[in-house]
Amino acid sequence: MEERKLIYLINPIAGTRKKQQLRKMIERETSSRGLEYAILPTHPSGNYDDVIDLITAKGFTDVIAVGGDGTVNHVVQSMRHLPIRFGILPVGSGNGLALAANIPLKLQAALSLIFEGSAARIDAFMINQRFSCLLSGLGLDARVAHEFAKANSRGLISYTQQSLLQFFKAQPYLFEIVLDQFSFFTDAFFISVANSNQFGNQVTIAPQASLNDGLLDIVIVQKMHKAKLPFAILKQIRGNNRLQELVESFTNKNILYFQTPSLVIKNPKLAPLHIDGEPATTDESFKIEILPSCFELIQPIKNQL
pLDDT digits (tens, 9 = 90+) for 185-225: 999 998 989 898 765 555 667 777 889 999 999 989 888 77
pLDDT digits (tens, 9 = 90+) for 85-109: 999 999 887 788 999 999 999 999 9
Report whether pLDDT(299) > 80. yes
Alpha carbon separation from 189 to 94, 220, 230, 233 (Å, rounded): 21, 8, 12, 11
Residue 15 Cα to chain centre, angstroms? 23
In sequence order, which residues have a C-beta less than 8 Å from that of residue 292 and are 6 or more positions away? 123, 212, 214
Give the pLDDT score at 40.
96
Pairing mode of beta strands 5-10, 36-41: parallel
How sure is the predictor about 15, in pLDDT bands with cuts at 50, 70 and 90? very low
Report whether pLDDT(2) > 60. yes
Residue % of the chain over a pLDDT of 90: 54
Which of 71, 58, 63, 66 lies closest to 25 in space, CA to CA? 66
Q: pTM of the entire structure? A: 0.86
* Three-state secondary-structure class, residue 182: coil
pLDDT digits (tens, 9 = 90+) for 23-37: 999 999 999 999 999
Kindly report the number of other CB atoms within 10 A of residue 26's CB atom. 21
pLDDT digits (tens, 9 = 90+) for 49-66: 999 999 999 999 999 999
pLDDT digits (tens, 9 = 90+) for 241-283: 666 665 455 556 888 889 999 999 999 999 999 999 888 999 9
Cα gap 128→149, rounded to integer Å: 22
